[in-house]
Amino acid sequence: MTMLNAFRIQDILDIAIISIMISALLIWFKDRASRFVFLGITLLGVVYMLARFFQLYLTTVVLQAFFAILLFVLVVIFQEDLRRFFERLALLGSFRKRFFAVAPFNESAEVLAQTAADLARKKIGALIALQGHDPLDRHLTGGSNLDGILSQPLLESIFDPHSIGHDGAVLVDGNRVMRFGCHLPLSANAAQHGNLGLRHTAALGLSERSDAICIVVSEERGTISLAKGERIQEITNASALRIELEAFFARRTPLAKPGPILRWLKENQREKVIAIVLACILWVVFGYQRETIRRDFMVPIEYRNAPAEWVLEESKTTEAKVMLMGHAQAFQLLHPESLKISLDLAHLPPGRQEVKLTHNMVKTPSNLAVAGISPERITVVTSRLISMAVPIEVLTENDPPKGLAVQKITATPAEVRILIPRRLRGKRIRILTEPIDLAQLDIQKAFTPSLRYPPDIQFAGGKAPVVRVVVKTRQERTPSRR
Highest mean pLDDT among 86-95, 152-161, 340-349, 430-439: 152-161
pLDDT for the residue numbered 33:
60
Q: What pLDDT band is residue 102 in, cutting at 50, 70 and 90?
A: very low
Between CA 187 and CA 208 the distance in angstroms is 7
Highest mean pLDDT among 10-14, 176-180, 189-193: 176-180
Q: What pLDDT band is residue 96 in, cutting at 50, 70 and 90?
A: very low
- Stretch 418-430: mean pLDDT: 82
Percent of the chain at pLDDT exceeding 90 = 27
Task: Judge whether 415 and 345 are in contact, CB under 8 Å.
Answer: no
Q: How far is CA 208 from CA 77, 186, 189, 268, in A?
A: 14, 10, 9, 21
Answer whether residue 203 shows pLDDT above 90: yes
50 vs 444: which has the higher pLDDT: 50
pLDDT for the residue numbered 224:
95
Answer whether residue 86 shows pLDDT above 80: no
Name the architecture of domain 386-475: Beta Complex (2.170)
Matching CATH number, 106-252, of 2.40.10.10, 1.10.472.10, 3.40.50.1220, 3.40.1700.10: 3.40.1700.10
Helix axes 238-252, 106-121, angle to 10 degrees: 150
Indicate left, alpha or beta for 281 from its phi (over 0: left) and psi (-120 to 50: alpha): alpha
Indicate left, alpha or beta for 459 from its phi (over 0: left) and psi (-120 to 50: alpha): beta
Q: At 173, is the secondary structure helix, strand, or coil?
A: strand
Q: How does pLDDT run across 329-387, given as a tens digit for each residue?
A: 778 778 888 899 988 888 777 778 888 898 888 988 777 889 999 999 988 887 778 88
Answer whether residue 187 shows pLDDT above 80: yes
pLDDT for the residue numbered 100:
40
Answer whether residue 68 shows pLDDT above 60: yes
Where exactly does CATH 2.170.120.30 map onto the chain? 292-384
Helix axes 57-77, 79-90, angle to 10 degrees: 70
Q: How does pLDDT run across 204-256, given as a tens digit for each residue?
A: 999 988 889 999 999 999 999 999 977 899 999 999 999 999 989 887 766 55
Q: How does pLDDT run across 133-151, given as a tens digit for each residue?
A: 888 888 899 889 999 999 9
Answer whether residue 160 shows pLDDT above 90: yes
Question: Exposure pattern of 450-480 as b/e (b: 16+ CB <10 Å)?
Answer: ebebeeebbeeeeeeeebebebebeeeeeee
Task: Judge whether 119 and 217 are in contact, CB under 8 Å.
Answer: yes
Q: How far is CA 445 from CA 76, 168, 403, in A?
A: 75, 88, 15
Sheet with strand 310-312: strands edge to edge = 310-312, 377-384, 351-356
Q: What pLDDT band is residue 99 in, cutting at 50, 70 and 90?
A: very low
- End-to-end, the C-alpha distance of the chain in Å comes to 117
Between CA 41 and CA 164 the distance in angstroms is 48
pLDDT for the residue numbered 229:
79
Task: Judge whether 415 and 392 are in contact, CB under 8 Å.
Answer: yes
Non-local (6+) Cβ contacts of 405 within 8 A are 473, 474, 475, 476
Nearest to 279 by CA among 7, 15, 12, 14: 15
Q: What pLDDT band is residue 95 in, cutting at 50, 70 and 90?
A: very low
Helices (H), 1-105: 2-5, 9-29, 35-53, 57-77, 79-90, 92-99
- Distance of alpha carbon 446 from the chain centroid: 56
Q: What are the backbone angles phi and psi of residue 205, rounded to the nearest 5°? A: -65, -40
Q: How does pLDDT run across 267-310, given as a tens digit for each residue?
A: 778 888 888 888 888 777 776 666 788 899 999 988 888 776 67
- Stretch 183-205: mean pLDDT: 86
Between CA 128 and CA 80 the distance in angstroms is 23
Q: What is the mean pLDDT of the chain?
A: 82
DSSP 204: H
Nearest to 14 by CA among 329, 260, 293: 329
Q: What is the full DSSP assignment across 355-412?
A: EE--GGGB---TTEEEEEEESSEEEEEEEE-EEEEEEEEPPEESPPPTTEEEEEEEEE
Where exactly does CATH 3.40.1700.10 map onto the chain? 106-252
80 vs 96: which has the higher pLDDT: 80
Task: Judge whether 125 and 217 are in contact, CB under 8 Å.
Answer: yes
- Stretch 400-424: mean pLDDT: 86
In CATH, what class is 292-384? mainly beta
Percent of the chain at pLDDT exceeding 70 = 86
Nearest to 101 by CA among 252, 250, 253, 245: 253
Q: How far is CA 301 from CA 240, 298, 339, 415, in A?
A: 75, 10, 10, 37
Q: What pLDDT band is residue 468 in, cutting at 50, 70 and 90?
A: very high
Q: What pLDDT band is residue 103 in, cutting at 50, 70 and 90?
A: very low
- Stretch 8-24: mean pLDDT: 83
Nearest to 135 by CA among 99, 173, 189, 164: 173
Nearest to 290 by CA among 331, 328, 261, 236: 328
- Distance of alpha carbon 430 from the chain centroid: 55
